[in-house]
Structure 1
Amino acid sequence: MKTHVKALVVGGGAVGTGIAYHLAKAGWDTLLVERDELTSGSTWHAAGLLPLFNMGYATTHIHKYSVDFYKGLEAETGLNPGFYVVGNLRMAQTQDRMDEYMLYSSVAETAGVYHEFLTPAQIKERWPLVRTDDLKGALFHPQDGYINPADVTQAMAKGARQLGATIERKIQVDAYRWTGSEWIVSVTRMVEQGGRLVPGDEKYEIHAEHVVTATGNHAQRTARLLGIKIPAIPVEHQYIVTEPDPALVEWRKTNPQHPVLRDADAKWYVREERGGWILGPYEKNAPARFLYDVPETFRADLFPLDLERIEAEYMSMIHRLPSSETVGLKDDFNGPICYTPDGNPLVGPAPGLRNMWLAEGFSFGITAAGGTGYYLAQLMTQGEAEIDMASLDPKRYGSWMTTEYAARKNEECYDHVFILHHPDEEREACRPLRTAPAYDRQKDLGAQFGQVNGWERPNYYGPVGAPADYDHHARSFRRAAWWPFAEAEAKAVRETCGIIDASAFTKHLVRGPGATAFLDHFTCNKLPNVGRINLTYALTEAGTTRTEYTIVRLAQDEYYIISAGAWTAYDYDFLQKAADDFTAAGGGHIDIHDVTTQWGVYALAGPTARAILKEIVKDRDPETVLSNKRFPWLSMRNIELGMCPVRAIRVAYTGELGWELHYPIEFGRYLWDLLLKAGEKHGLKPVGARAQNWLRQEKSYRAFGTELGRDATPLEAGLDRFVDLTKDFRGKDAMLKTGIRAKCVTLLIDGPSDTDPWGKEALLLNGEKIGRLTSGGWSVAFGKQIGMGYVRPDLAEVGTKLKVKIQLKEWDAVVVEDSPHDPTNTRIRVDG
């Protein structure tokens, strides 16, 4: 067996073979090891569906690549992957579901995924066995269908071998050890013993520059061997196969196969299988399994079927396909399929480790296998993929996550596969968990919370005393019940003052003799002077935006840096690894500390913000301490508010006069009460994240994860004023070489009266897609919809007229100047 390779892939399911294929195609010497047989994990019992489209931008591209890739495998390898291009029919029983499909349509259009809408009459005409009298319509993807999981895996494996990869079966990984330059992986050859696989006497050490784990159901064992957390835990998924349906057999004599049928409101998919039907339900109460280990006795095995659990879904299939009522059951499957808390797989660098890559937690592994291999190979061999993969990064989950949390959230994720996915969706399992000190105070004021990295964060303040499920019933693809509350909050910030709990912000302390030189090269803007702040960006080696930071300089070599709350572990890993590289190259020592949970944050913003703080600030001259002279815009001061010490930063994400008040976390309730009492006569209003999101778009403030990501440079994002081209910084040459492929713009939109853009819509010119929105909402300053997004550079000029596609219609939009609200920042700098 080979013992020295460039890349070792651990796991021989569809995902692992897809990765081995693409690494070999990229020219890397690749070895894949599988502890049993290829496909012996979840792959062998997968239903093989290929849902071409997914609401996530990255996952849609992954699925699209897979579907296209699989269609060419037979020509390349001589093995038929068993791809049946029958289409995918997403049926809707309600208008809300049709609204969801309209939003799906916008995202699909931005990714170049063909689709069409069908009326109930058109469905009935094409497929008369389907009952349609209670349907509103359907979204149809004619280019996808289903595939044989074992066949496509073997075809990718053969393709990998043809490209030079080696595949070894019956090899179990026992340990990983990083030497500083390579991984030494201890493995054992497994042998059959009484129907079980047990370790044999042959042991090897494999030396690999890079390792990829695609271990499926065994992810918890992998996590333990690596000393990290991987929130990928399987959930039971069952499906049944019926005997042949005489009506279907007769119909098929002169007609092609039915498409894969998805009745999302009934929570199931159905496809044909040898004259009968396969029903795959996503029912409630499916349990998580293998929370710590897969039993050694469990190989290509299944769990007992629980028909009572899927009775409702089975009856709804009979309702939708009446001819199936008298058909018996032929076979059943109930096997483990991995999930993650948000349903997206974990694809990318492992936290805290070098050259260790994860490809875990695939609930749609067959669909994603080819595309994951393609884009992960780009990450590994080129440094970045052509699409932003941050939404799949394993470090989107922090070390606070426990096994219990992952298991319960994964069960919820399974149950939510076919739940309406509103853009304002908030899931309830395992909540509240991480709470800022004023959580109960905010709840008493009507706060309806969202969850960010486990933190509870007010989305808006609804009716005081509303029932616990108020927010759940307030959701919609149009303007929901929460909309007027968010509008009132946004107006308060513009007219009086709002207070926003921003405690979820990520905060790091960077200090030491090497801190200044490190951060100067790590980020693209000038570093601030002591007591001042700057907005800046850390770039990837490809020159795109890796992270946005607000840097506060506390001392000559001490910095307090703030970044997005959803990305704490992601940012810490990036900072620490970059600092280690800097020190190893001869730079000075650097200490990096994640202090997120040590500091809470209240953002106070609006015309009366200074007056409110004057009521409670303790200073030798309280009348001037907050003036522009003593406390200018973009500066930091340590002040005292009542009895609370505060690190106050003169900045506001809403574009109004304001401060971020960073306080020791234990003072949170005291400071909240103090601010609200002082603000009573000044019109202070608690404000949630949704209003803040609208307000920041009026100022054209880019947000990481929407406008900012690893597929666009800061110059493409229009952030030239935050890039100091006179200095050398990480990614600078690559950024300049990339040039301007697209430009970020702000648009005002004359849209529908009951719907705002969500930031997923296509931008059109003369019917041609020329860009896409990345953010959207309502502007209280202009009384119309607003959005931000990317367009071709030639269309980024102010005054350019475009169209935005909302609810399948094209609406007028115009490119406006950056920061259309108060472009000169007069309101932010106002003195007093």
Structure 2
Amino acid sequence: MKTHARAVVVGGGAVGCSIAYHLAKAGWTDTVLLERDELTSGSTWHAAGLLPLFNMSYATTHIHDYSVKFYKTLEAETGLNAGFSVVGNLRMAQTQARMDEYMLYASTAETVGIPFEWLKPGDIKDRWPLVRTDDLLGAIYHPTDGYINPADVTQAMAKGARQRGVEIVRKAQVDSFHREGGEWVVRGRIMGDRGGNLIATDEPFEIRCEHVITATGNHAQRTAAMIGCYIPAVPVEHQYIVTEPDPALVEFRKAHGEHPVLRDADAKWYVREERGGWILGPYEWGAPACFKFGVPDSFRADLFPLDLERIEEEYMSMIHRIPSSEHVGLKDDFNGPICYTPDGNPLVGPAPGVENFWFAEGFSFGITAAGGTGHYLAQLITEGEAEIDMWALDPRRYGKWVNREYATKKNEECYAHVFILHHPDEEREAARPLRTAPSYDRMKARNAQFGQVNGWERPIYFANTPDFDDHAARSFRRGGWWKFAEAEARAVREGVGLFDATAFTKHIIKGPGATAFLDWLTCNRLPKVGRINLTYALTDAGTVRTELTIVRLAEDEYYCVTAGAAQAYDHDYLVKEAAKKREEFGWIEIQDVSTQWGVFAIAGPKTREVLRPLVVDTDPASALSNKRFPWLSAKTIDLGMCPTLAIRVAYVGELGWELHHPIEMQNYLFDRLMEAGEPHGLKLCGSRSMNWLRQEKSYRAFGSDLGRDATPLESGLHRFVDTEKDFRGKAAMERTGIRAACITVLIDGPDDTDPWGKEALLADGRKVGRLTSGGYSVHFGKQIGIGYVEPGYATVGQKLKVRMLNELWDAEVVEESPYDPTNATIRKDG
């Protein structure tokens, strides 16, 4: 067994073996994989092995697509049959809402290049007569996926890894990780099997390495605790049953190939063929989380007792859909732990607080994701970035406020939502409200409907009645909330609106090295004292890592505002990068002040009329004028008794200010603003209308329009890049060139639907790009979107097609900031 390695992978399931394989393929052949028992003895062994391509996430769709293609190559490389049955996947729909969901998903699939077919009930019955279709509206069919034998594909990847130089050590229990002398020390024990229990032998081991990657499945919480971290990867019980052979299926197979995997999403189950019978896998309500405090040492390849009563409804619906299964007996059953996370996406990327430690944990669809995760995580580790933006999977999307109780409730909810309609406007209810700004109750009393970002409750729109049902208002088309968002957007354009932006991430960066550090970290020039600037921190690959609004408070003190969802993500990044640069630049202090400051954003032509009565100043009439308070400046002002850092900027593209205030004074400030705004028709607004309004100004959103797969030049942010200075990622940015160009489009779409930012863009009969944002423009009276296309299709006036509801609609590339392109409204004096 090696005592030194470049990388150590902990965990010998499908994910761990894929990571080891792809690290070696990338040239890191000095890799060791450690498994506490036998390969596949974790959740891999009892997985059903399905490979569903269906996913609403662009990044996750790429990961699943890579896996399906990769698994088909393993036998030729290793000589081992991975057990891939390419039987196709038939996803059925009983309702129009489900068909709408499939049509939105299909556009995402189109952007990635995943093949699919649309089938009517008659088509289904003709091809698969065992399926009852009289209550179906249709289906989407993926001909290229199916199911795989989890143990076989894992062993094939393990053999491929060994062939490339990876050492795989079984019965190796890891007990600790320590950072010493700039490298990791992994210590543990070799285990022996005595009487069915793993017992430590007298063989301790120690491996020193540059990088540690953990893929420990149900043991993720214990693994993370070894480095002082908590991650919300808590298993949930998943049951599936195997029937005796179905004579009707056996007869069908005499003249046909293997039956496709069936998914009746409205009935919450999947079914696939197994040795002449059926496997039923339900995703029922009430499945409990398990191992809340960690997996017992005695738990190995074990299962829980079956709870048939819990899945009775799903079992009966299988009989309804496949009538021939009614008289078939049960052959076997499985009830095992499958790891989940609060949003269903795995945790793939850097561990917070430490260097060169990587998580690959929380996989609820581990077999499907294993191949792609190994590929893209290996890119991230060996090259510094993956070719796709991995932000949606980053472990640091969850902050330190997340604990076991929260994870348990959300993971149980996530399991139950596997087959629930995945509305783009969905807001799930479990573990809420949790993080609330002081004005939460006041806004709720005014009929605010809340979403959540980073655990914070944030108004998404304001209804006109206290008993409005947001759940019933959700849709893949224009939901019941649409009219409220439209009225809010119009109020901002014509009058004045107030938004709660308290969830913003906020940092103070100061010290003798702060200026040099931020100048190196970001691509735009730094603002002067009292001024602000929008800028970007880049990755080493030259792509956008983080968007920052920087307010310069003093020569060496800065107030930095970033996305609300990125609090832990940005804090960990800033702290790590500052630590590396202190010797070069001088002392740099990073303070996360996100919970100390509340934020209201007020915007619209009547903004000054609302604020003037509140400003405590020798000349309130001129305090907010362009001369005394110009655009893109910041100063501390008193609004009544509330000292406020007012920043003259508005994400909605109107005259406006962000009002950053001590959070304990928020209710006082809110009440004063509402009183002052009443004569001017001040309207409370939510994030949905803000999203529409910012697109009229071509303002990009981090996490959708901006990410680690595009440079700021590709994102059309040339005016925020100072090429006269040196900054991190500059050379890579310039070397990359323009692979795709960011555009704004206006769309002549259907009367009842707006784009969601997942749609394909076509020209000349082929896909040339995709939308990353979408919505409705109250100014232009039509749909609007932001997206990326091949550079040759980015010219203003270019005619495109956008696919919505499976139909093509006319779209046209318009100038940057189609609403108020000269910023006359924003700069308006008064």
Q: Same fold (TM over 0.5)?
A: yes
Partner of 1:166: 167
User: Which among 631, 640, 649 is matched to residue 633 of structure 1?
Assistant: 631
CA distance in 1, matches of 2:54, 2:281: 18
How much has 1:53 moved relative to structure 2? 3.0
How much has 1:3 moved relative to structure 2? 1.1
How much has 1:201 moved relative to structure 2? 1.6
Partner of 2:390: 389
CA distance in 1, matches of 2:180, 2:529: 40
CA distance in 1, matches of 2:235, 2:153: 22
SS of residue matched to 1:50: coil
* Corresponding letter in the other structure for 1:572: H
- After superposition, the C-alpha distances for 1:530-559 in whole angstroms (9 at most, x for unaligned) are 000000000000000000000000001000
The more displaced of 458-467 and 536-545 is 458-467
SS of residue matched to 1:43: coil
Partner of 1:741: 739
- After superposition, the C-alpha distances for 1:604-645 in whole angstroms (9 at most, x for unaligned) are 000000110002111111011111111000000100111111
Partner of 1:347: 348
How much has 1:766 moved relative to structure 2? 2.0
How much has 1:54 moved relative to structure 2? 1.4
- After superposition, the C-alpha distances for 1:8-45 in whole angstroms (9 at most, x for unaligned) are 00000000000000001111111000000000000000
* Corresponding letter in the other structure for 2:818: P
Partner of 2:524: 525
CA distance in 2, matches of 1:180, 1:215: 26
Partner of 1:691: 689
CA distance in 1, matches of 2:647, 2:53: 46
How much has 1:55 moved relative to structure 2? 1.1
CA distance in 1, matches of 2:541, 2:56: 26
Partner of 2:505: 506
SS of residue matched to 2:272: strand
Stretches of 4+ aligned residues off by more than 3 angstroms: none
The more displaced of 357-366 and 286-295 is 286-295
How much has 1:675 moved relative to structure 2? 0.3
Partner of 1:18: 18
Query: Runs of 5+ in structure 2 lacking a partner?
Result: none
SS of residue matched to 1:138: strand
1:123-138 correspondence runs (5 A): 123-138=124-139
Partner of 1:665: 663
Partner of 1:115: 116
* Corresponding letter in the other structure for 1:19: I
CA distance in 2, matches of 1:732, 1:262: 48
Task: Report if the CA contact (8 A) 1:53-1:64 is conserved.
Answer: no
SS of residue matched to 1:303: coil
CA distance in 1, matches of 2:671, 2:32: 61
Task: Report if the CA contact (8 A) 1:53-1:113 is conserved.
Answer: no
CA distance in 1, matches of 2:394, 2:186: 24
Say yes or no: does 1:299 pair with 2:312: no
The more displaced of 516-525 and 457-466 is 457-466
Partner of 2:442: 441
How much has 1:463 moved relative to structure 2? 2.5
Partner of 2:769: 771
Partner of 2:653: 655
* Corresponding letter in the other structure for 2:804: I
How much has 1:688 moved relative to structure 2? 0.2
How much has 1:464 moved relative to structure 2? 2.5
Task: Report if the CA contact (8 A) 1:81-1:148 is conserved.
Answer: yes
Partner of 1:375: 376
* Corresponding letter in the other structure for 2:348: V
CA distance in 2, matches of 1:101, 1:224: 40
1:769-808 correspondence runs (5 A): 769-808=767-806
How much has 1:198 moved relative to structure 2? 2.1
Task: Report if the CA contact (8 A) 1:196-1:296 is conserved.
Answer: no
User: Which among 750, 754, 758 is matched to residue 760 of structure 1?
Assistant: 758
- After superposition, the C-alpha distances for 1:618-673 in whole angstroms (9 at most, x for unaligned) are 11110111111110000001001111110000000000000000000001111111
* Corresponding letter in the other structure for 1:559: Y
How much has 1:194 moved relative to structure 2? 2.2
How much has 1:289 moved relative to structure 2? 0.7
CA distance in 2, matches of 1:474, 1:677: 31
How much has 1:179 moved relative to structure 2? 1.8
How much has 1:199 moved relative to structure 2? 2.0
Say yes or no: does 1:2 pair with 2:7: no
CA distance in 2, matches of 1:576, 1:297: 39
Task: Report if the CA contact (8 A) 1:746-1:788 is conserved.
Answer: yes
CA distance in 1, matches of 2:282, 2:585: 57
CA distance in 1, matches of 2:431, 2:201: 42
CA distance in 2, matches of 1:67, 1:785: 35
1:273-292 correspondence runs (5 A): 273-292=274-293
Say yes or no: does 1:480 pair with 2:476: no
Partner of 2:35: 34
* Corresponding letter in the other structure for 1:505: F
CA distance in 1, matches of 2:494, 2:181: 57
SS of residue matched to 2:34: strand
Partner of 1:202: 203
CA distance in 1, matches of 2:323, 2:272: 15
Equivalences, count = 829
Say yes or no: does 1:606 pair with 2:607: no
CA distance in 2, matches of 1:633, 1:96: 45
Task: Report if the CA contact (8 A) 1:617-1:641 is conserved.
Answer: yes
SS of residue matched to 1:517: helix
Task: Report if the CA contact (8 A) 1:474-1:480 is conserved.
Answer: yes
* Corresponding letter in the other structure for 1:34: E
- After superposition, the C-alpha distances for 1:411-463 in whole angstroms (9 at most, x for unaligned) are 00000000000000100000000001110111111111001000000000012
Say yes or no: does 1:55 pair with 2:56: yes
1:199-278 correspondence runs (5 A): 199-278=200-279
The more displaced of 143-152 and 667-676 is 667-676
CA distance in 1, matches of 2:293, 2:3: 29
CA distance in 2, matches of 1:792, 1:64: 22
1:99-110 correspondence runs (5 A): 99-110=100-111
How much has 1:180 moved relative to structure 2? 4.4
- After superposition, the C-alpha distances for 1:775-795 in whole angstroms (9 at most, x for unaligned) are 000000000000000011111
